[in-house]
Protein backbone atom coordinates (compact mmCIF):
# COMPACT_ATOMS: atom_id res chain seq x y z
CA UNK A 1 0.00 0.00 0.00
CA UNK A 2 2.75 2.45 0.99
CA UNK A 3 4.68 1.55 -2.15
CA UNK A 4 1.63 2.38 -4.23
CA UNK A 5 1.37 5.86 -2.73
CA UNK A 6 5.07 6.49 -3.23
CA UNK A 7 4.80 5.47 -6.89
CA UNK A 8 1.83 7.79 -7.46
CA UNK A 9 3.71 10.59 -5.75
CA UNK A 10 6.77 10.10 -7.94
CA UNK A 11 4.67 10.04 -11.10
CA UNK A 12 2.91 13.22 -9.98
CA UNK A 13 6.25 14.99 -9.42
CA UNK A 14 7.47 13.92 -12.86
CA UNK A 15 4.28 15.10 -14.59
CA UNK A 16 4.22 18.45 -12.77
CA UNK A 17 7.93 18.92 -13.41
CA UNK A 18 7.42 18.28 -17.12
CA UNK A 19 4.51 20.73 -17.30
CA UNK A 20 6.48 23.42 -15.42
CA UNK A 21 9.60 23.07 -17.60
CA UNK A 22 7.46 23.09 -20.73
CA UNK A 23 5.61 26.25 -19.66
CA UNK A 24 8.88 28.02 -18.86
CA UNK A 25 10.69 27.12 -22.08
CA UNK A 26 7.78 27.50 -24.55
CA UNK A 27 8.53 30.40 -26.94
CA UNK A 28 6.48 33.52 -26.25
CA UNK A 29 4.50 34.51 -29.33
CA UNK A 30 4.74 38.25 -29.93
CA UNK A 31 1.96 40.22 -31.60
CA UNK A 32 2.58 42.11 -34.84
CA UNK A 33 2.58 45.38 -32.87
CA UNK A 34 5.21 44.02 -30.45
CA UNK A 35 7.36 42.86 -33.35
CA UNK A 36 6.96 46.31 -34.94
CA UNK A 37 8.07 47.89 -31.67
CA UNK A 38 11.24 45.77 -31.72
CA UNK A 39 11.83 46.49 -35.41
CA UNK A 40 11.45 50.28 -35.23
CA UNK A 41 13.96 50.38 -32.35
CA UNK A 42 16.44 48.18 -34.23
CA UNK A 43 19.34 49.23 -36.44
CA UNK A 44 18.05 47.33 -39.44
CA UNK A 45 18.67 48.78 -42.88
CA UNK A 46 15.83 51.14 -43.83
CA UNK A 47 14.75 51.74 -40.24
CA UNK A 48 15.47 55.47 -40.05
CA UNK A 49 12.17 56.67 -38.57
CA UNK A 50 13.65 58.39 -35.50
CA UNK A 51 15.77 60.65 -37.70
CA UNK A 52 12.56 62.56 -38.45
CA UNK A 53 9.86 61.33 -36.06
CA UNK A 54 9.51 61.42 -32.30
CA UNK A 55 7.89 58.51 -30.46
CA UNK A 56 7.79 59.08 -26.73
CA UNK A 57 10.93 61.00 -25.78
CA UNK A 58 13.11 59.91 -28.66
CA UNK A 59 13.48 61.27 -32.18
CA UNK A 60 13.50 64.20 -34.58
CA UNK A 61 10.90 66.76 -35.57
CA UNK A 62 11.20 66.92 -39.38
CA UNK A 63 8.05 64.76 -39.55
CA UNK A 64 5.00 64.65 -37.27
CA UNK A 65 5.25 63.22 -33.74
CA UNK A 66 4.03 59.61 -33.93
CA UNK A 67 3.66 59.06 -30.16
CA UNK A 68 -0.14 58.90 -30.50
CA UNK A 69 -0.38 57.86 -34.17
CA UNK A 70 -3.16 55.37 -33.33
CA UNK A 71 -5.49 58.26 -32.44
CA UNK A 72 -5.28 59.52 -36.04
CA UNK A 73 -7.36 56.44 -36.92
CA UNK A 74 -5.51 55.63 -40.14
CA UNK A 75 -6.04 52.08 -41.36
CA UNK A 76 -3.20 49.55 -41.29
CA UNK A 77 -3.25 49.64 -45.08
CA UNK A 78 -2.89 53.45 -45.15
CA UNK A 79 0.03 53.26 -42.72
CA UNK A 80 1.73 50.55 -44.81
CA UNK A 81 1.37 52.72 -47.93
CA UNK A 82 2.66 55.76 -46.02
CA UNK A 83 5.80 53.93 -44.91
CA UNK A 84 6.56 52.23 -48.25
CA UNK A 85 5.49 54.98 -50.68
CA UNK A 86 4.49 58.21 -48.88
CA UNK A 87 3.97 60.07 -52.19
CA UNK A 88 0.76 58.04 -52.62
CA UNK A 89 -0.70 59.73 -49.51
CA UNK A 90 0.87 63.19 -49.61
CA UNK A 91 1.97 65.14 -52.69
CA UNK A 92 5.77 65.49 -52.35
CA UNK A 93 6.76 69.04 -51.44
CA UNK A 94 3.26 70.01 -50.34
CA UNK A 95 2.61 71.36 -46.87
CA UNK A 96 0.43 69.54 -44.37
CA UNK A 97 -0.81 70.58 -40.96
CA UNK A 98 -0.99 68.12 -38.09
CA UNK A 99 -1.88 69.25 -34.55
CA UNK A 100 -1.31 72.88 -35.51
CA UNK A 101 2.19 72.28 -36.84
CA UNK A 102 3.20 72.50 -40.51
CA UNK A 103 5.31 69.88 -42.24
CA UNK A 104 6.64 69.64 -45.76
CA UNK A 105 5.93 66.25 -47.33
CA UNK A 106 9.46 64.91 -47.80
CA UNK A 107 9.27 61.47 -46.24
CA UNK A 108 11.41 59.02 -48.25
CA UNK A 109 10.21 55.68 -49.66
CA UNK A 110 10.95 52.51 -47.73
CA UNK A 111 10.61 49.99 -50.53
CA UNK A 112 13.40 47.86 -49.07
CA UNK A 113 11.13 46.75 -46.21
CA UNK A 114 9.27 43.45 -46.62
CA UNK A 115 5.47 43.15 -46.51
CA UNK A 116 5.78 41.53 -43.10
CA UNK A 117 7.92 44.39 -41.80
CA UNK A 118 5.51 47.01 -43.16
CA UNK A 119 2.61 45.21 -41.48
CA UNK A 120 4.49 45.04 -38.16
CA UNK A 121 5.47 48.73 -38.26
CA UNK A 122 1.91 49.75 -39.22
CA UNK A 123 0.46 47.59 -36.42
CA UNK A 124 2.86 49.15 -33.92
CA UNK A 125 1.99 52.72 -34.98
CA UNK A 126 -1.72 51.89 -34.94
CA UNK A 127 -1.35 50.67 -31.33
CA UNK A 128 0.11 53.99 -30.10
CA UNK A 129 -2.71 55.77 -28.27
C1 LIG B 1 13.54 62.25 -43.79
C2 LIG B 1 12.51 62.30 -42.75
C3 LIG B 1 11.60 61.12 -42.53
C4 LIG B 1 11.93 59.79 -42.33
C5 LIG B 1 13.31 59.14 -42.35
C6 LIG B 1 10.68 59.10 -42.04
N7 LIG B 1 9.62 59.97 -42.10
FE8 LIG B 1 7.68 59.56 -41.78
N9 LIG B 1 7.16 61.45 -42.30
C10 LIG B 1 8.06 62.47 -42.60
C11 LIG B 1 7.33 63.65 -43.05
C12 LIG B 1 7.95 64.97 -43.48
C13 LIG B 1 5.94 63.30 -43.03
C14 LIG B 1 4.76 64.14 -43.51
C15 LIG B 1 4.08 63.47 -44.72
C16 LIG B 1 5.00 63.00 -45.83
O17 LIG B 1 6.12 63.54 -46.00
O18 LIG B 1 4.60 62.06 -46.56
C19 LIG B 1 5.88 61.93 -42.51
C20 LIG B 1 4.71 61.22 -42.27
C21 LIG B 1 4.64 59.99 -41.68
C22 LIG B 1 3.43 59.34 -41.25
C23 LIG B 1 2.02 59.92 -41.38
C24 LIG B 1 1.60 60.63 -40.13
C25 LIG B 1 0.15 61.08 -40.24
O26 LIG B 1 -0.67 60.60 -39.44
O27 LIG B 1 -0.16 61.89 -41.13
C28 LIG B 1 3.78 58.13 -40.74
C29 LIG B 1 2.85 57.07 -40.18
C30 LIG B 1 5.22 58.02 -40.84
N31 LIG B 1 5.71 59.17 -41.40
C32 LIG B 1 5.95 56.90 -40.43
C33 LIG B 1 7.32 56.75 -40.66
C34 LIG B 1 8.07 55.53 -40.38
C35 LIG B 1 7.48 54.28 -39.76
C36 LIG B 1 9.35 55.76 -40.77
C37 LIG B 1 10.50 54.80 -40.73
C38 LIG B 1 10.36 53.54 -41.42
C39 LIG B 1 9.43 57.13 -41.27
N40 LIG B 1 8.18 57.69 -41.18
C41 LIG B 1 10.59 57.74 -41.74
C42 LIG B 1 9.43 62.39 -42.51
C43 LIG B 1 10.15 61.23 -42.39
Pocket probe mutation, ligand 1, options 39, 55, 64, max atoms within 8 Å of Cβ:
64
pLDDT tens for each residue of 27-44:
789 999 999 999 999 999
Q: Are the C-beta atoms of residues 103 and 95 closer than 8 Å to each other?
A: yes
> Cα 104 to chain center, whole Å?
26
List the chain pLDDT tens, one digit each, 129 residues: 688 888 888 788 888 878 788 878 877 899 999 999 999 999 999 999 999 999 999 999 999 999 999 999 999 999 999 999 999 999 999 999 998 999 999 999 999 999 999 999 999 999 999
Residue 19 lies in a domain: no
- The CATH number that applies at residue 86 is 1.10.760.10
- For atom 22 of ligand 1, the residue with the nearest CA is 82
Residue 17 lies in a domain: no
* Host domain of residue 97: 32-126
How big is the CA angle at 127 (ends 126 and 129), to the nearest 5 degrees? 100
* Ligand 1 center–CA 30 separation, angstroms: 25
* Ligand 1 center–CA 64 separation, angstroms: 7
Residue 18 lies in a domain: no
* Ligand 1 center–CA 45 separation, angstroms: 16
Sign of the torsion angle spanned by Cα atoms 5, 10, 14, 20 = positive
Amino acid sequence: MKKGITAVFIILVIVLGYVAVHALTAPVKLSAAQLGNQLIHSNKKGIDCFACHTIGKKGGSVGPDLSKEGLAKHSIKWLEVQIATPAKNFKPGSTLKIDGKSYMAIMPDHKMLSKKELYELASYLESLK
